Every structure is written in C-alpha cells, then in structure tokens.
Structure 1
Amino acid sequence: METPSSQRMLEIYLNDHLAAATGGVALARRATRNTRDAKIMPRLAAVAHEIDQDRRSLLEIMRQLDVKVARYKLVMGWAGEKAGRLKLNGALMNRSPLSALIELEALVLGVQGKAAGWRTLLAIAGQEPRVNADMLRNLLTRAQQQFDELESIRVQIASEMAT
C-alpha cells in the first residue's frame, strides 16, 4: 500500500478539522439560541462569533496551502452536529436542562481540538513558508480564551443544576 504524500495527508487533516469546525459553528449557534440566561447569552454569542471567524481562518489557511475543500466532509460535519441533538438526556420531546451542559462540554472539547490543530500547523510552519506562524499563534491564543470562557460558563451551568 502506497503512503500518501505530505500534501495529501495535509489535505485530509485540514478537511477533517474543517468538518469539525462546521459542526462546531452550528453547535455554538444552537447553544447561544437556546440559552435562557440573559447573562450567559452574550458571552456565548461572542464565542460563537469567534468560532465562526476561526472556521473562516481555517478556510483561508487551506486556500494558502492549495488544499481543496472536500464538500462531503462538510456535509458530514453538519450532519454530525444535527445527529448530536438526538441524545438521551432525560426528555424525549423537549429540551432537557442537561442539554445546555452537554452542548457546553462538546464546545469545550471542540475548542481543545481546534487548538491542537493550530499547534500542529505551527509545528510545520518552519518547513512550510505558506503557513503564517503569527496568525496561528493568535488563533491559538484566542482558542485558549474561548476555552476559558466556555469552561467558566459550563461550570456555572453545572453548579446551577446542582441547586
């Protein structure tokens, strides 16, 4: 079996991250739309906007690296987010109080995955002149800030559920 070229592996890797980012944007928007806490909503909306911007940054990086978007993976990312809505959370027809917590946990994990992707791209920046290391460092910093904000919201929701 032939080993894929470095460019092909990069295409697969970036398209996998794009599929996850597509689902992440949809999840962040849904979590924002469904929050009932007036103090949390603007915080979530700000993070959702940044997650969308990060997806756009990924598309720009892919363009700079001549990586074609695999449309089928975008559909899979979108469909995966929709399928994630079908979970046993204690309420069959209505939104459960657990839904917000599960959504926040999924967003936290997604942001950690995104940060890992930025770190991977930073690791190859020395060999790939088309990769903008400063941009990636900024994206990595923003991912850490998103993680901190989402984790703070998640802990708040969890503590409110316990009371």
Structure 2
Amino acid sequence: MDHNLQRYLNDHLAGSAGAIRLIDELATRQDDPAETAFFESLKAEVEGDQERLRHLLASAGLEESAALQATGKLTASASKLKLLWEGLKPGELGMFEALEMLTLGIQGKRLLWVMLMEIAPAYPEWDEIDFAELELEAIRQRDAMEERRILHGRESLIDSERRTATTSVAR
C-alpha cells in the first residue's frame, strides 16, 4: 500500500513542478502589477506545498521519484508550447486555457488534502499537519483562480462585438 501512496504523492509533486513553471510564465506576462503579484504569491504557495509533499514522503519513509518529476516537467513543457501557440497574454485563448489548467490543478490539490486527511490516522508521523487548513487554502486559491479564468474566458471566447452586447444585456 505504501507503494501506492508513494506514487500518489509523487504524482502530485510532479504536477506542482509543472504548475510552478506555468505560474512563473504567467507572472512574467502580466501588464497589471497586481496580477504579477498574485501569480508570484501563488508560486510561493505552491513551492510551500512542494516542500510539504516532500516532508510527507520523507516522514512516511517513502521516496521522491526523479523519474515522475522529470515526466511532470516534460508534460509541462509540452503544454506550455501549446499555450504559447495560443497566446499567453490577456484576452488570448492560451491565457484562458492556462488559467483553466491551474484551476483544475488546484482543485486536484484540494482533493489530495482531503484524501490525506482521511488516511492520516494510519500515519501518526503526520499528526502535526492540519489537512483541513490546507484544504481551505486550496479552496481560496481555486476560487481566486476561477475568478480570473471566468474573466479571461469572456475575453478570449466572445468576440468584442458580442461581448459588448452581452455586457449591456447583463447590466
């Protein structure tokens, strides 16, 4: 069973590595300093989650998988190429899709914390970890990302003429 847990935690560790690369890219492409700060803060939080995952692995006597991390980085690079093709500036499809990927990834992280909270009694070495608090943090991150995803979805999926008509009807 520990093999499955090791694989599961390593999969999330690999996903976080890809997320950091994408967040970094998005931070550099923002025109609004507040948005740059948002992505830089999110990157720091995800880096903290990576360290937490490493601690969980180590404290349970499990190992980090370099192969899975390399695969995660390769997958992130391939995804980044596709997003760059679509465009990663505000209003471009790639930006919307990048935010959607991050929203899904953050939701996956939330589900990770929920599952680990469920199995934590079997791992007394994790007693000091507040998985409920980690879940709440993931929800906050997901909601903040979702706001951006919706905004950029409107900008990239509705042409300007229709967006003007939709905005005036919505008001």
Q: TM-score, normalised by structure 1?
A: 0.85
Measured after TM superposition, the shift of residue 15 of structure 1 is: 1.0
Q: How does 1:47-126 map to 2 (within 5 A)?
A: 47-87=42-82, 95=88, 97-126=92-121
- Which structure's relative contact order is higher, taking Cα pairs within 8 Å and 6+ residues apart? 1
* Structure 2 letter corresponding to 1:23: G
Measured after TM superposition, the shift of residue 73 of structure 1 is: 0.6
Quick check: 1:149 aligned with 2:144? yes
Higher-Rg structure is: 2
* Structure 2 letter corresponding to 1:8: H
Measured after TM superposition, the shift of residue 98 of structure 1 is: 1.2
Measured after TM superposition, the shift of residue 65 of structure 1 is: 1.0
Asked whether the 8 Å contact 1:35–1:100 carries over to 2, the reply is no
Asked whether the 8 Å contact 1:125–1:133 carries over to 2, the reply is no
Quote the Cα distance in structure 1 between the aligned partners of 2:84 and 2:28: 19
Measured after TM superposition, the shift of residue 89 of structure 1 is: 7.5
Structure 1: gaps spanning 5 or more residues = 1-5
Measured after TM superposition, the shift of residue 135 of structure 1 is: 2.4
Q: Give the aligned partner of residue 140 of structure 1.
A: 135
User: What is the Cα-based RMSD across aligned positions, in Å?
Assistant: 2.0
Structure 2: gaps spanning 5 or more residues = 161-171
Q: TM-score, normalised by structure 2?
A: 0.82
Q: How does 1:3-82 map to 2 (within 5 A)?
A: 6-82=1-77
Q: Give the aligned partner of residue 165 of structure 2.
A: none
Deviates more, 1:52-61 or 1:128-137: 128-137
Partner SS for 2:124: coil
Deviations 1:48-99 (A, max 9, x none): 22111111111111111111111011111111110002327765xx656111
* Structure 1 letter corresponding to 2:108: G
Measured after TM superposition, the shift of residue 129 of structure 1 is: 0.8
How many residues in Structure 1 have an aligned counterpart in Structure 2? Answer: 156
* Structure 1 letter corresponding to 2:57: M
* Structure 2 letter corresponding to 1:64: S
Seq. identity, %: 26
Against the structure 1 CA distance between its residues 147 and 133, is the aligned structure 2 distance closer, same or farther, given a 3 Å change threshold? farther
* Structure 1 letter corresponding to 2:54: L
